[in-house]
Amino acid sequence: MLPYFFSLVSLYGTYLRRRFTATGLSSQTINIDNETTIHFWGPKETTQNQKPSLVLIHGFGPMAIWQWGQQVKFFSPHYNVYVPDLIFFGDSTTKSPERSELFQAVSVGKLMETLGVQKYHVVGTSYGGFVAYQMAKMFRERVEKVVIASSGVNIRRRDNEALLKRAKLEKIEELMLPATAAQLRTLMVLSANKRFNVLPDFFFNDFIHKLYSVNRMEKLELLKGLTLGREDTPNISPLQQEVLILWGDHDQIFPVEMATELKELLGEKARLEVIENTSHVPQIDCSGQFNNIVKKFLSGSL
């Protein structure tokens, strides 16, 4: 039995930070206004060059380093990669009462403006796809191409109800903000193509303590502050940018049927790619295929 002070999550978190550093990115914190501070991983000032810029926006869950490890390594040689922690994830915080994905989008946009990055592509997964979509609407002259991965931007009220039924839970926070090993195991099984039932409870409890307990009330407010998914019809419109919709065919959070509908709603500039035998986190489950599809799209060869 491991000693009570031993944390596999902390140990792996250290490994992830070292991986990000090894790609040439550095951990940075910046005040984007007098209320909001954002932590992000980005190029060191002395190494910035003429490469195009790419923003990776994480989903609802652990901070960014847990979600984009394979992408940072793959894209850093070709792009100036920026990986922000959204507000109330990691070390990003605000005194503002705003809690919507619109506020998250404004905040990431302000970050890029403060850094002096004039043009950039955005890739968002799940909740991060909500943010990427809103950024594309808000910053039309800055955001170039958009990748919406595993993200039901076209979510309806009934889609939330169906998700809770699949999870056999009563409240969305029981799934997205798990407080027990059983709840986190449910989220893992629904989100990932790999099975987690064999892992012991102490692993899940460690994960909850280190990654889900911090800013828990604020994250609950973020869930309640979502503007998408409140109505019985999708509340979205086409984007002016080229859009890649990237999905796993076994996604149990946002079923692949939502991806097909999203393509129609986003119009003629949107295209859909589905990765087979993959669930809600294709950037982790099938990182090689995910990365190659995104690279081809961004370079114009898809």
Instruction: Indicate whether 196 pLDDT > 70.
Output: no
For 11, other C-beta atoms within 10 Å of its C-beta total: 9
pLDDT digits (tens, 9 = 90+) for 22-49: 999 999 999 999 999 999 999 987 445 7
Q: Name the residue type at position 91.
A: D
56-72 burial code (b ≥16 CB/10 A, e <16): bbbbbbbbbbbbbbbbb
Non-local (6+) Cβ contacts of 286 within 8 A are 248, 275, 277, 278
Query: Is the confidence at residue 261, as pLDDT, over 80?
Result: yes
Arithmetic mean of pLDDT, 133-142: 97
CA atoms within 13 A on the CB side of 265: 17
Pull the structure tokens for residue 76: 């850093």
pLDDT cut 70: percent of the chain above it: 95
Distance separating alpha carbons of residues 219 and 2, to the nearest angstrom:
31
Candidates 154, 142, 152, 153; CA nearest to 55 is 142
pLDDT at 301: 80
Read off the pLDDT of residues 46-104 as tens digits, 9 standing for 90 and up. 445 789 999 999 999 999 999 999 999 999 999 999 999 999 999 999 999 999 999 99
The whole-angstrom separation of Cα 227 and Cα 19 is 35
- Can you give the pTM of this predicted structure? 0.94
* Inter-residue contact 234 to 154 (CB < 8 Å): yes
Residue-wise pLDDT tens digits, 178-189: 999 999 999 998
* CA 86 – CA 122 distance, rounded (Å): 14
